[in-house]
Amino acid sequence: MNVGLEHYLVVSVLLFCLGLLGVIVRRNLLIIYMSLELMLNAANLALVAFSRFNNNLDGQVFVFFSITVAAAEVSVGLALIVALYRKRRTAHVEDLTTMKL
Amino acid sequence: MQDALFYVFAFLTLVFGFLVIANPFSRNPVTSAMFLVLTIVSLAGLFVLLHAFFLAAVQVLVYAGAVMVLFLFVIMLLDLKAEERRKIKVLGLVGGLVSVGTILIIFLSSLLNAPLGAAESPVLDGGTVRLGRLLFTEYLLPFEIVSVLLLVAMVGVVLLSKKDLK
């Protein structure tokens, strides 16, 4: 059976679900952040597959932009985590419940 | 040949992705970061199979290089020990699995019923020349805006890393 668009989309969906599961289940801020990266990469894979199988290069340009934005997002997010760690000495979401009653 | 490579890279991507979020052998964030590097490299292999050569190179350079080095630096800076095993809340685990499984079913059923409109024989080639030409003609304005975005992110990070954060 020839590998087509569906195969790539299934891989992308599974990778996205793995990332989502990591965000929900894990309790370490850094690992939650890595799971976010997994989800972004799954979306990128779907975009590249669509662009290839529809003979349209716009999808790849979009992936280029999304990689750039992800790099900026990672730098800001990690700076926030470092600032939070300096104040609270923890990177564990269950210890960061200041707004909880 | 290409089909076999697709299955190899897809399998590697999913296995490494699973090891990022749930490694049975180690709770150390560094091993998760290393498996994330491997996931990204096998995704770059999938990009090569999709003839997106430029994006595969960018994926390895920017993600596996820059972003992951940033992650490792922060892990080093925070000096996280391998976290002690906390009691995993069963309710949270079950809730997460159920919700993610539901979303997976929704995705797959919509995928089965979607008119994908895929070309039978794809001829697209994502080489650097075509992508660069598109980027500097049709997408010139977003390209410039992204450069401003990077500058803003840099200023923000410098501000956030100051010692006395107001």
pLDDT of residue B115: 79
Average pLDDT over residues B130-149: 92
Tokens of A14: 């599974």
Tens-binned pLDDT, residue by residue, of chain A (101 aa)? 678 888 899 999 999 999 999 999 888 889 999 999 999 999 999 999 998 888 888 899 999 999 999 999 999 999 999 888 888 888 888 888 877 66
- ipTM rounded to 2 decimals: 0.91
Cβ atoms within 10 Å, residue B102: 10
Mean pLDDT of B98-123: 83
Which residues in chain B are contacts of A65 at CB distance < 8 A? 142, 146
Nearest CA to A26 among A80, A93, A85? Answer: A93
pLDDT at B83 over 70: no
Give per-residue pLDDT as tens, B20-42. Answer: 998 888 778 889 999 999 999 99
Q: Residue range B126-134: average pLDDT?
A: 85
Alpha helix locations (H) across chain A? 5-25, 29-53, 58-88
Mean per-residue pLDDT for B55-77? 91
What span, in angstroms and rounded, lies between the C-alpha atoms of B75 and A78? 10
pLDDT at B55: 92
Average pLDDT, chain B: 87
Partner-chain residue, chosen from A5, A58, A71, that has the shortest CB–CB distance to B67: A71
The DSSP line for B10-60 is: HHHHHHHHHHHH--SS---HHHHHHHHHHHHHHHHHHHHHTT-HHHHHHII
Q: Which residue has the higher pLDDT, B152 or B113?
A: B152
Residues 50-89 of B with CB under 8 A from A: 50-52, 54-55, 58-59, 62-63, 66-67, 70-71, 74-75, 77-78, 80, 83, 86, 88
* pLDDT reported for residue A32: 93
Would you call B13 exposed, middle or buried from its count of C-beta atoms within 10 A (0-12, 13-18, 19+)?
Answer: buried
Cα B55 vs. chain centroid, distance in angstroms?
13
